[in-house]
Homo-oligomer: A and B are copies of this chain.
Amino acid sequence: MTATDDDRRSVEALRREGLIEPHEAHEATHDGSGRVLLSFAPAGRDVRVPPGVSVFDAASWNGIAIDSTCGGHGTCRKCKVQLTSGTSPITRHDVRTFSQTELADGWRLACLVKATRDLALTVPPLVTRPKASTVGVGRQVILRPNVQKRYVELDEPSLSDQRTDYERLTGALDDLDVRPDLHALRRLPTVLRASDFKVTAVVVDEDLIDVEPGDTTGRRFAVAFDLGTTTVVATLLDLDTGTPVAVASMLNRQQPFGGDVITRISATMMDPAALGRLQELAQSTLRDLVLEVCAEGGVQAGEVYEVALGGNATMTALLLGIDPEPLGVAPFIQSSADWPVLLGSDLGLGEAVHPRARAYVFPALGAYVGGDIVAGMLASGIDRDKRVRLFIDVGTNCEIVATDGERIVATAAPAGPAFEGGAIRCGMRAAEGAVEVVKLSDDDVTLGVIGDVDPVGICGSGLVDAVAELARVGLLDATGRFIPQEEAAARHTGLVDRLTAMGEERVFILHRPSPDAEPSECVYLSQRDVRELQFAKAAISTGWTLLLEELGVEAREVQQVLLAGSFGSYLSPASAIRVGLVPKLSVLRIVSAGNVAGEGAKMALLSARERAGAQALLTEVTYVELSDRPDFNDRFVDLLAFPS
């Protein structure tokens, strides 16, 4: 037989029927636009997802459960759906699962259907209702952990059944296809024979990492890390129930090398030994946290089979032993956006976790929009929402994400250290004694102080509050200048004595330890402090202004602003609006999102599908470099003033 018109016809038929995916549908370069519509019946849910994601993932992301025991690897053949509109290529797994008639009727395995065009599909009723857990910013996550266990009772080998131990075990794993890990192959002969061939297989992703005597299926744990520049948080998760078992946090032990990423990068540039030292300090921080949560939770090291970690690009590089210098100097280049499958030992966790525990490190969108932000985007469901939203992680480096419900854009704005208390005369971190809330009445000042002690300084949220309140009562004008003393005296009899001068500079006294204390002994806000805050908030508002322009959206159209990070969570929405740090919206639209990086790490452990969603963000989100834009400085100057 020669290749003839028959072949030609069939190729064209295939294309027409969508059974060969068209050229452009493969590994499409997602620019965030051109989402496809999936209509799920009988749930009656329409969801829009980036082209190329699996129908199974799209359903999971939207809380629509489809039967599955393998978690979406194409091996259990349970995730049956029927396409009622649109087609999808028939895979070999489909051929093995469905009859010809069923295939022709549109039946497919959901985990193998790529949403490359609009589809309508029917999901059969669930055979088993999967567990779910609420994580992140109110996200309902269907539990599909990457760590799976299967208890099996195997036939003992004989001369007429000489299958290898590995074949014997995998032959009994009817819904999982696995690859062996040397560690498991080492343990197999011994464990099988010590436990009468009744064992539990431990599978992470598709790797058989261990085999345990007896039935240990109820014991599956993982640790989620939020690796912050300042604080590191570890959460021990029970993967069987989806609940946190124990949480611990400590200061990042790299602190002695500097309080922010730039000083730590500088340390590595000055001393060749610093990188190794910083790596070891990060590792020991993580290791000790794992030991702490495991001790608290009554969990053995060998029961922690996976960890996930969200950190900014510099923290991630230092942890992995990668020279961070290119991150710190223009043009700000990462070694890699994404990471291969790592082991706990690659993160220095050594014997604190299972020897073959896997480590998932969140990928980054850029040198200054790191894995912590990708984790935060996952936790906040930024890509699963039709609303116009802003996500702002306020800090020395401020990461901003904007979406119009279709496209997602992100950038980083150099806000400087003001929010961390840096470059502020009485600035301090959010620790005991820090003023975190400031309220002004016509004649008095009410302060909220961390630890309810005498105030010793002012932290970021107090700074924003103070400036916002001073602007509200008119002691600061729209340009950020303290009004003249005479004018203040005329209008603010009760506050005017707090407005005074220290040398050349005017200051506002927030707290006077004793009636006759000198201004320098007080907690105060100086004119220069106000300027620092203006610079910081202008950087941020320039960021979101340009991102919203990129999307063609007006600031007033924003339906929600998520304030992320430890600082963002404490910020007063009203004050943030007043100083112009966020768009002028109803305060109800400004939401504290909490520690979203840690929540994202938890989600990645609870659901391999959610993890796939985080990975999809890498192609879905467009990174916008602000320092490259000719209009940046103009906007910045415009936005220094407070909004009217």
Contact = CB atoms under 8 A, between A and B. Distances in A.
A185 B19 contact: no
Contact of A26 (B96, B181, B339): B96
A92 interface: yes
Closest 10 CB pairs of A and B: A3-B106, A8-B104, A166-B336, A159-B628, A164-B334, A10-B17, A159-B331, A157-B333, A7-B104, A189-B323
Nearest to A160: B628
Contact of A182 (B96, B105, B340): B340
Contacts of A11: 90, 100, 103-104
Interface in A78-112: 82-87, 90, 92, 95-96, 100-101, 103-106
A164 B337 contact: yes
A162 B10 contact: no
A105 B320 CA distance: 51
A494 interface: no
A2 B82 CA distance: 10
16 contacts: A1-B86, A7-B87, A7-B105, A10-B13, A10-B14, A158-B331, A162-B366, A162-B625, A164-B335, A164-B336, A165-B334, A165-B336, A166-B337, A167-B336, A180-B339, A182-B320
A569 to B, nearest CB: 30
A175 B114 CA distance: 26
A95 B186 contact: no
A190 B84 CA distance: 54
Interface in A180-204: 180-182, 185-186, 188-190, 193
A73 to B, nearest CB: 16
Contact of A333 (B106, B164, B628): B164
Contacts of A189: 322-323, 325-326, 333, 335
A322 B165 CA distance: 12
A519 to B, nearest CB: 44
A642 to B, nearest CB: 31
Contacts of A346: 182
A185 B2 contact: no
Nearest to A169: B336
A127 interface: no
Nearest to A106: B3
A333 B14 contact: no
Nearest to A162: B331
B23 A19 contact: no
Interface in A323-373: 323, 325-326, 330-340, 342, 346, 366-367
Contacts of A190: 323
Contacts of A8: 100-101, 104
B326 A165 contact: yes
A20 interface: yes
A14 B7 contact: no
Contact of A20 (B90, B166, B186, B336): B90
Contacts of A86: 1
Nearest to A207: B340
B19 A10 contact: yes
Contact of A23 (B95, B157, B162): B95
A364 to B, nearest CB: 9
A321 interface: yes
Contacts of A7: 17, 87, 103-106
Interface string A10-50: 11111001011101001000000000000000000000000
Contacts of A12: 100
A6 interface: yes
Nearest to A12: B100
Contacts of A439: none
Residue from A11, A20, A164, A167 having most chain B Cβ neighbours under 10 A = A164
A491 interface: no
Contact of A1 (B85, B100, B332): B85
A186 B333 contact: no
A633 interface: no
Contact of A342 (B90, B166, B182, B320): B182
A3 B88 CA distance: 11
Contacts of A10: 13-14, 17, 19
A210 B211 CA distance: 33
A85 B2 contact: yes
A493 interface: no
A366 B26 CA distance: 42
A444 to B, nearest CB: 50
A482 to B, nearest CB: 38
A628 to B, nearest CB: 4
A179 interface: yes
Nearest to A193: B326
Contact of A19 (B14, B21, B186): B14
A328 to B, nearest CB: 11
Contacts of A161: 331
A112 to B, nearest CB: 14
A627 interface: yes
A267 to B, nearest CB: 16
Contacts of A164: 333-337
B320 A186 contact: yes
Interface string A102-133: 01111000000000000000000000000000
Nearest to A84: B2
Contacts of A628: 159-160
A155 to B, nearest CB: 12
Nearest to A26: B92
